[in-house]
Chain A
Amino acid sequence: MEMPKIDASIVARKPAIVAALLQVLPPDAVIYDEIEVRAYECDALTAYKCPPLVAVLPRTTAEVAAVLRICHQMGVPVVPRGSGTSLAGGALPTGDCVILGVARMNDVLETDYPNRYIRVQSGRTNLSVTGAVESDGFFYAPDPSSQLACAIAGNIAMNSGGAHCLKYGVTTNNLLGVTMVQMDGTILEIGGAHLDAGGLDLLGVICGSEGQLGVVTEATLRILPKPEGARPVLIGFNSNEVAGECVSDIIKAGILPVAIEFMDRPCIEATEAFAKAGYPKCEALLIVEVEGSRAEIDEQLALIVAIARRHNPVEVREAADDDQAKRIWLGRKSAFGAMGQINDYMCLDGTIPVSSLPYVLRRIGEFSKHYGLDVANVFHAGDGNMHPLILYDANKPGDLELCEAFGADVLRLCVEVGGCLTGEHGVGIEKRDLMKVQFAPEDMEAQLMVKDVFDPKWLLNPAKVFPLDVTASRRA
């Protein structure tokens, strides 16, 4: 993966940059030792590493503004960082950048149950937002699988989703307002505890802008009352096609499960060997979860099971109690860990129209043969967000490149059938060079114009999202 050439003139000014940052931050918030900055050399896309010039860990919006003002004046690129869990390289540094980490900004600022929102500093982890309100019967809905570690800042940057977004939506649907600092240090308040914008919906374009428009320091998030209960059913099928048809029929019947998860045979076998959840031996497996009171759950599951039976399932397993429900989810939740036991893997994130599912899975199987790399499919079937896991050996020369070529073919396929490159992980550097597959030059230009407005000098996370040749003149 190509990254822009390090600007030697910035590196040469490191002492002056560090000195300026130490004027506005306490000593322990400025990390510039060459060994220590290595802690920030990558995110969860560990195939790519580059230590930053400096890393800063401000504690307040005012400190963030001061840092950005300095970097703006000195012409230093800034890469914002939440918890560093991006699978797309969204927080990957360049050697001439300042990493601005919000990890020390993790306070709850306000909890308001009558108005159903919480205001937090953006470094707070996703799960600890729910943790702050769950004893009072509320939760924060978006639940990316990294929710134990990932920060709200990163969730907003990538517009993160999760397993339950079929019902509850993704980050953008649960974000009410932000405090954001622009690259020149201007502090903006966008949105708030009220609903919707009075003018242009700037919040809508800020969410998912991958830290390129500003650094979000505080967020007002919608919280929801916890459902009375939830229960999954596991359904096994002898073909991917039939499983796909069953998903479509469930949705067409007017049922809206909170989650419909899909695993194919390679994924089932790998997780079974790892987690021993007792899954049936079959080609495709669905986990469908519904919410409500006991009676409401029974009513919905009866309908779902009746639809499933019309598709000759290999097995239908309803959870009779919490323990059985946990066992049904065990394999799915261990899927990534199980794959990691077998090999290194790359996790893709394209979305496809649900109707294209059988065709896309067949083509992925063909790619797998062509490249000689195994692939396992696990994904959110209700919304078509796929997560093919391509297995490779990082120690084998050429294997990573082979895996990347395979992944690119899969993502091109997603676009070809009417879908997109990324459903919830973001573009980062990982899918940057594929953007031309999805966007015509003018469609990309329209997005660049938005960045021109928020960050005219192109200093915020400049080497991400868009192909480097497309942004070269702006970054110059």
Chain B
Amino acid sequence: MTPANESELAEVIAGAQGPLRIVGGGTRGFGPDGGGEALHISALTGISLYEPGALTIVAGAGTPLAEVEAALAQGGQRLPFEVPDFRGLLGRDGVSTIGGVVAVNASGPRRIQAGACRDSLIGVRFVDGAGTILKNGGRVMKNVTGYDLVKLMAGSYGSLGVLTEVACKVLPRPEAEATLISGPLDGEAAVAAMSAALGSPFEVTGAGYVGGRVRLRIEGMAGSVAYRTGQLTKLMGAWDVVTDADSAALWAALRDVSDFAGQAGAVWRVSVKPSDMPGVLALLQDAQVMCDWGGGLIWAQVPDFGDAQAIPLRAHIANIGGHASLMRAGADTYAQVPAFHPEAPSVAALTAALRAKFDPRGILNPGRMG
């Protein structure tokens, strides 16, 4: 089903007889879905408002991400949170939509400096599981009126409601960028280097650890980027420096986890505090890794058999804090491993109760988040 507008969508949901599988562009969902009839939001398109002077854009949830990014580029701006493209990683070929981006809280390397998707999201319209059209937040970036359901909707994977429109805060597109690249470093030294850089006043907007080397990104006005490159070199030593398009390509590859595209292994996405990164790497066996967020985000590709090391990994994380999502695996693996990190019982109870309120019949992407 592809409702033509929000009110049609509301009718479809209100009249649904069974589970619905909500599809933006079909480029980001992971884990086994609960089946159900496909409900496409691809007709809910269009940028209804873009005010560069107010750093604000509002678009229908089905608007292609590329259309949003092109409009912002025209205004010399961009989405702050550096949206990843997981089509290669997940083996998909759809057209990513802004609603899908929000539904999964898709956030790339700049998350450590500019915040996640949820931090830029300032308003939503959505249809809940009863078919009621709801809105929360708005088009202004400072708004504490009532509860913040905007954040709750970001990353809810369609399980509380179907997004129909989203409003985002945007930021200026910088005129220059540069990346400093270290020599070979072990995990401990890598985290120490990234922490030192992120603890400096030089506004590092990306800190990753790929192929045994640390990379640090700075962005801004050309003069400022040159200055900060110099200051970081003083701090770190004489690392290699690449600029502009070469720098951007490096970060796009980490953002999209492109090292693991087209490969066979299971892929974990692990969020921990940066200093816990070496411990997680030591725990995983036969793993290839790409680390982002100063060490706080670990992408690990492991052999896809058994539980893909879920038991030791999640037990370790239960001790140190964080979460691990199984982003890619075969059906046999998913049959025994929940894709989303299991929550503590008290939190799981709240989560289940919220879902029961917003989707009393349990028809919106049932089982998607576990």
Interface residues of A (CB under 8 A from B): 112-117, 137-138, 158-159, 161, 165, 169-170, 172-173, 186-190, 192-205, 207-209, 225-228, 247-249, 251-252, 254-256, 292-293, 295-296, 299-300, 351-355, 380, 383-385, 418-427, 431, 435, 438-440, 442-444, 446-447, 449-454, 465-466
B186 an interface residue at 8 Å Cβ cutoff? no
Cβ of B350 and Cβ of A202 under 8 Å apart?
Answer: yes
When C-beta atoms are compared, the residue in chain B nearest to A197 turns out to be B155
A300-B221 CB under 8 A given contacts A202-B351, A355-B54, A439-B146: yes
Are the C-beta atoms of B227 and A296 separated by less than 8 Å?
Answer: yes
| Contact in complex: B199, A199 (CB < 8 Å) | no
Q: Give B contacts to A, CB under 8 Å.
A: 51-56, 75-77, 105, 107, 111-112, 115-116, 118-119, 128, 132-136, 138-152, 154-156, 159-160, 171-175, 191-192, 195, 198-201, 220-221, 223-224, 227, 231, 271-275, 293, 296-297, 321-325, 340-341, 343-344, 346-348, 350-351, 353-354, 357-358, 369-370
The answer on a CB contact under 8 Å between B293 and A195 is: yes
A450 and B271 form a contact (CB under 8 A):
no
CA distance A443 to B137 in the complex (A): 10
A424 with B271: CB separation less than 8 A = no
6 chain-A/chain-B pairs, Cβ below 8 angstroms: A115-B296, A165-B142, A188-B350, A200-B159, A201-B154, A466-B146
Docked pose: A420 CA to B231 CA in angstroms: 42
Given A424-B144, A425-B144 in contact, is the A204-B151 Cβ separation under 8 Å? yes
| CA of A293 to CA of B202, assembled, Å | 9
Q: Considering the chains assembled together, what is the distance between the CA atoms of A438 and B201 in angstroms?
A: 40
| A172 pairs with B148, CB closer than 8 A | yes
State the Cβ distance, B100 to closest chain A Cβ, in Å.
17
Our count of residue pairs bridging A and B at CB distance below 8 angstroms stands at 266
Inter-chain CA distance A324–B354, complex, in Å, is 53
Which residue of chain A lies nearest to B341 when distances are taken between CB atoms in the complex? A198
Given A113-B199, A114-B192, A353-B56, CB of A196 within 8 Å of CB of B142:
no
Tell which of B75, B223, B275 touches A252, judged by Cβ atoms closer than 8 Å: B75
Given contacts A189-B344, A201-B152, A204-B154, contact A351 B146 (CB under 8 A): no
Q: Pick the contact of B119 from A173, A190, A423, A449 — CB < 8 Å?
A: A173
**A295 and B350 within 8 A (CB):** no
Chain B residue nearest to A187 (CB atoms) is B346
Closest-by-CB residue of B relative to A444 is B146
B286 to chain A, nearest CB (A): 24
Please tell me which one of the listed residues B132, B140, B192, B198 contacts residue A423 in the complex, with CB atoms under 8 A apart. B140
* Cross-chain contact A114 with B201 (CB below 8 angstroms): no
CB distance from B168 to the nearest CB of A (A): 14
Question: Which residues of the partner chain A approach B134 to less than 8 Å between Cβ atoms?
Answer: 442-443, 446
- Excluding A115-B275, A194-B272, 10 further A-B contacts by CB distance (< 8 Å) are A161-B142, A190-B347, A194-B273, A196-B107, A205-B147, A256-B172, A295-B227, A418-B138, A438-B146, A453-B357
- With both chains docked as a complex, state the minimum distance between the C-beta of A48 and any C-beta of chain B, in angstroms: 20
Interface centre among B77, B152, B297 (most CB of A within 10 A): B152
A208 touches B148 (CB 8 A): yes
Q: Smallest Cβ distance from A51 to chain B, in angstroms?
A: 28
Q: Out of B148, B322, B357, which one reaches A192, CB within 8 Å? A: B322
Complex CA–CA separation, A114 to B197 (angstroms):
10
- Contact residues in B for A192 (Cβ distance below 8 Å): 273, 321-322
Q: With a CB–CB cut-off of 8 A, which chain B residues contact A296? A: 220-221, 223-224, 227
The distance in angstroms between the C-alpha atoms of A249 and B53, with both chains bound, is 6
* Contact A256–B201 (Cβ < 8 Å): no
Which of A165, A193, A355, A426 is packed against the most chain B CB atoms within 10 Å? A193
**A448, chain B: closest CB distance, angstroms:** 9
> Closest CB-CB distance, A248 to chain B, in whole Å?
3
Contact between A420 and B341 (Cβ–Cβ < 8 Å)?
no
Q: Known contacts being A200-B354, A252-B52, A354-B54, is A195 close to B145, with CB within 8 Å? A: no
Please pick, from A190, A255, A431, the residue contacting B145 in the complex, using a CB distance under 8 A. Answer: A431
